[in-house]
Amino acid sequence: MLYIVSTPIGNLEDITLRAKRVLGEVDFIIAEDTRRSGILLKYLNINKRIVSFHEHSQDSKLEMILKELKSGADIAYISDAGTPNLSDPGGKLVEAARRAQIEVSPIPGPSALTSLISVAPFSCSQFQFMGYFPKKKGREKMIEYIKKVDCPVFFYESPHRIQKTLSLLSQKLEGYSILIGRELTKVYEEVLLIDLQDQENFAKIVNKGEFVFAVVKINTK
């Protein structure tokens, strides 16, 4: 069995009882970042073999994992933080396991995306998640796409690009607001709703930490 295990995005107390049990029972753990995962496992008092698996891992690593699964091993995969397969290499692993007819089981839990949705002051019964906002190519095209959809559009963004992205969105999207979640579940957590035309508020945003945001057209009538 391959378990896809969600882990905390900041506050380690957000680990679920089921996730803790599964991590303690599997034969070994696959992690996107073994150092970050080691901190969590130490907190949980779990001493397990950890195998790294990330976007640059060679095919031989994937073949080794599949061989272990086929031989009867139970393995858990965890990403850097949150729910795997949201902008991480978890999908590649799951795809290979499915092709090999290996059972895959989700262990749900924290996610920066769903955390921000839960505190959004607008309806998210329908929404779109687009991964990371384009770095260079595709930025203008993405903005045109946002104008066409009739629901909130969510993105992740790097702290080094957040001000540049906000400036671009404010120039191109009149009548829109942006909901920003920074360092969700952590000590310096912030959730801000800002009119994209109110650029003075951009300076209040601390350019550090993990960001997730949503662009939405606000009906002011």
CATH architecture of 112-217: 2-Layer Sandwich (3.30)
Q: What string of DSSP letters covers 167-204?
A: HHHHHH-TTEEEEEEESTTSTT-EEEEEETT-GGGGGG
Give the C-alpha separation, 173 to 179, whole Å: 14
2-107 CATH pick, 2.60.120.1270, 3.40.1010.10, 3.40.1180.10, 3.30.300.30 = 3.40.1010.10
- Angle at which helices 90-99 and 59-70 cross, to 10°: 50
- Note if the pTM is more than 0.75: yes
pLDDT in tens, 28-81: 999 988 998 999 999 999 999 999 998 777 788 899 999 999 999 999 999 989
Q: Do domains 2-107 and 112-217 have the same CATH topology?
A: no
The residue extents of the domains of the chain are 2-107, 112-217
Tokens of 43: 């907190």
Which ranges of 4-157 does DSSP label H, i.e. alpha helix?
Answer: 17-25, 34-43, 59-70, 90-99, 112-118, 139-148
pLDDT in tens, 100-137: 999 999 999 999 999 999 999 999 999 999 999 998 88
Half-sphere exposure of 13 (CA within 13 A, CB side): 3
- What integer is the mean pLDDT of 167-182? 95
